Structure 1
């Protein structure tokens, strides 16, 4: 059976009705079928939370395995890039750390600055790719988890990788739509500062800033929720980025506040868990810095801060797995729930599960 069987497209009205009940008294309605991690009916918040935790428990091998591969590989690449930069610009590093001249010239630090910019660009590209891949991974796993089907590391990896370009496009487009209003605030604020400094306007114009914030921040939040289901639409239905944004808008319509509240809950829970996990690693990594003397050598500084960076990266790796996986699985649950509510998808999935 095709992987997307049962998911691709909107379905019609509710199923037909059966015959009249017998004379044996009132009968409770039959329980919804549950071939996988959630019952095939409109979901309550508890169903989504339980389904998310159950998905992580049953499918931890592909979820955690792919996350460790992605973020661990990214950390290794960044570490290797840092090593290459240090080997290339070690003389510049020695000059910066050991010069007694307070007036370092641009020529003294130029190569180091360009090296850090290159490091930032490489790190951001890796973060964007890893994030898109994890979005696709969570959706692929959930697609199988809802129907109770097995999912291996290899099958999930290749299925998710094939959808990364479309997921990346949907995420970037929705992110751009959300960020534009915030950039408008920044542009207006900058223009006001320039005008006041040049005595071209009254400082009273700064009173416009709170009004702009109160207008634009809700707009950004509205757009974020409106397009939040787009990555799931890309994977579940095989849609392209723009079509996925339209699909998300259709599914969110009429349920904005509910989706906003549940999404906020998921992000808050994941952020709190991620912080608590990362905290001991940060504290552990800070201990070696106390061993630095008054005049440490460059090699000692690099060694100590490399140890600190390694501890922080391990904590960040574990934290990142939690803060990406839990919200995206919950978002996928919201996508499935909206299709249950709007398109009566449950009977279709029940048939697909029995045919598996």
Structure 2
């Protein structure tokens, strides 16, 4: 039976995305686009082939960032469609969990909110189920968000496969290619977050110590939280650099999981080998991509915040003009504000989640071009006709 191009295993075996068979091919012969050129012959120069968003030769920072922007520009429908579906599903699942938790602990919640019904003799342990439910719902929400992010992380390399080869893609093609790898990418994401867990907890501890110390000073007491702050800062200084070093070493793992069809541990091991020797270069480009994504995500929220502000200003300084609005008007204002805020958050989240992953995936491809002569293999794949239909 003929396999579709969306089949990840087929793509890995027949377009050069899989790991090299046998010993690495080593760096490509010649200067590869400099001096002797790319296949120029007789010492002549010829530019490397560029069937898609980046040339099939080693490239620098501008090619990486430009390739990521071009991929977003050409394939935004695929990335946005999958991301919207993932985050919408996450929102529904998390909302359902909140409703179930409220139904199960409705009396405790009402008792906490309505102070007139609060029993002064109640022990703090009486609210333990509410605290436990809050922690459980919060952790469940984090897992749901990580799952949605894993879907986006898996779709970025899946889109990049066609973007680099200069081929069109559909949402169905990208989803068929990314869906089998979501589990591996999610496991990689969880492991990478565990790497950063200790520094993050220490940061929370330091922030808590600062807040408690400021509160104690405000009421004229010595809270004695200085030792807690010092301990948290020292721990952060000790574990933070290690976490960053490990995070960068494993930054190619989501791309490896999709491009090469590897499991979580194998993807992280492969990522560490590809990053080895070029850690600072990978760190610098990845950091630049993350900064650009953060600034762009903030800029994307500004128009929606502006529109939301205009809607609020239309009702006067108090938001309602000269008089109180009717129920319908108040509901319309609330729904409009929530809609603008939700759209702003989703659009910003899509960009801040997708762009750094595209940058890391392009650095991964660049490392393989430099070390395993992947460019020549991809040039042959780009020249060959697509293997099977692209339609969903």
Shorter-chain TM-score category?
Answer: 0.7 to 0.9
Q: Which residue of 2 aligns with 1:195?
A: none
- Kindly report the root-mean-square deviation, in angstroms, between the aligned alpha carbons of the 2 structures: 4.2
SS in structure 2 opposite 1:29? coil
Spell out, residue by residue over 1:139-173, the C-alpha distance to the aligned partner (whole angstroms, 9 max, x if none).
Answer: 10111211112211011112111101111111111
- Superposition pairs of residues 301-316 of structure 1, within 5 angstroms: 307-316=336-345
Aligned equivalents of 2:82, 2:225: Cα separation in 1: 56
- Residues 157 and 112 from structure 1, CA distance in 2 versus in 1: closer, same or farther, beyond 3 angstroms? same
Q: Which residue of 1 aligns with 2:26?
A: 13
Which of 118, 141, 159 in structure 2 is aligned with 1:123?
Answer: 141
Q: Which runs of 5+ in 2 are unaligned?
A: 31-35, 37-41, 209-223, 386-392
**Is it true that 1:3 corresponds to 2:26 in the alignment?**
no
- Residues 188 and 291 from structure 1, CA distance in 2 versus in 1: closer, same or farther, beyond 3 angstroms? closer
Q: Report the alpha carbon displacement of residue 228 of structure 1 after superposing the two structures with TM.
A: 0.5
Which of 238, 244, 247 in structure 2 is aligned with 1:221?
Answer: 244
**Is it true that 1:38 corresponds to 2:54 in the alignment?**
yes
Aligned equivalents of 1:208, 1:92: Cα separation in 2: 36
Aligned equivalents of 1:185, 1:79: Cα separation in 2: 29
Aligned equivalents of 1:149, 1:262: Cα separation in 2: 26
Aligned equivalents of 1:273, 1:189: Cα separation in 2: 27
**Is it true that 1:158 corresponds to 2:176 in the alignment?**
yes
- Superposition pairs of residues 23-34 of structure 1, within 5 angstroms: 28-34=44-50
- Residues 90 and 302 from structure 1, CA distance in 2 versus in 1: closer, same or farther, beyond 3 angstroms? farther
Aligned equivalents of 1:94, 1:210: Cα separation in 2: 39
Aligned equivalents of 1:188, 1:92: Cα separation in 2: 31
Q: Report the alpha carbon displacement of residue 187 of structure 1 after superposing the two structures with TM.
A: 8.3
- Residues 304 and 123 from structure 1, CA distance in 2 versus in 1: closer, same or farther, beyond 3 angstroms? farther
Q: Which runs of 5+ in 1 are unaligned?
A: 191-200
SS in structure 1 opposite 2:116? coil
- Residues 279 and 120 from structure 1, CA distance in 2 versus in 1: closer, same or farther, beyond 3 angstroms? farther
Q: Report the alpha carbon displacement of residue 185 of structure 1 after superposing the two structures with TM.
A: 8.0
Contact 1:292 1:301 in 2 (8 A): no
Q: Report the alpha carbon displacement of residue 58 of structure 1 after superposing the two structures with TM.
A: 1.5
Aligned equivalents of 2:320, 2:112: Cα separation in 1: 21
Q: Which residue of 2 aligns with 1:132?
A: 150
Contact 1:141 1:156 in 2 (8 A): yes
- Superposition pairs of residues 58-97 of structure 1, within 5 angstroms: 58-79=74-95
- Residues 102 and 256 from structure 1, CA distance in 2 versus in 1: closer, same or farther, beyond 3 angstroms? farther
Q: Report the alpha carbon displacement of residue 27 of structure 1 after superposing the two structures with TM.
A: 5.8
Aligned equivalents of 2:236, 2:129: Cα separation in 1: 39
Contact 1:174 1:245 in 2 (8 A): no
Contact 1:93 1:112 in 2 (8 A): yes
Q: TM-score if structure 1 supplies the norm length? A: 0.79
**Is it true that 1:321 corresponds to 2:350 in the alignment?**
yes
- Residues 203 and 308 from structure 1, CA distance in 2 versus in 1: closer, same or farther, beyond 3 angstroms? closer
Q: Report the alpha carbon displacement of residue 174 of structure 1 after superposing the two structures with TM.
A: 2.1
Q: Report the alpha carbon displacement of residue 281 of structure 1 after superposing the two structures with TM.
A: 3.2
Q: Report the alpha carbon displacement of residue 314 of structure 1 after superposing the two structures with TM.
A: 1.2
- Residues 94 and 177 from structure 1, CA distance in 2 versus in 1: closer, same or farther, beyond 3 angstroms? closer
Q: Which residue of 2 aligns with 1:47?
A: 63
Q: Which residue of 1 aligns with 2:369?
A: 340
- Superposition pairs of residues 162-311 of structure 1, within 5 angstroms: 162-180=180-198, 182-183=200-201, 210-282=233-305, 284-285=307-308, 287=312, 290-291=319-320, 307-311=336-340
Aligned equivalents of 2:158, 2:11: Cα separation in 1: 9
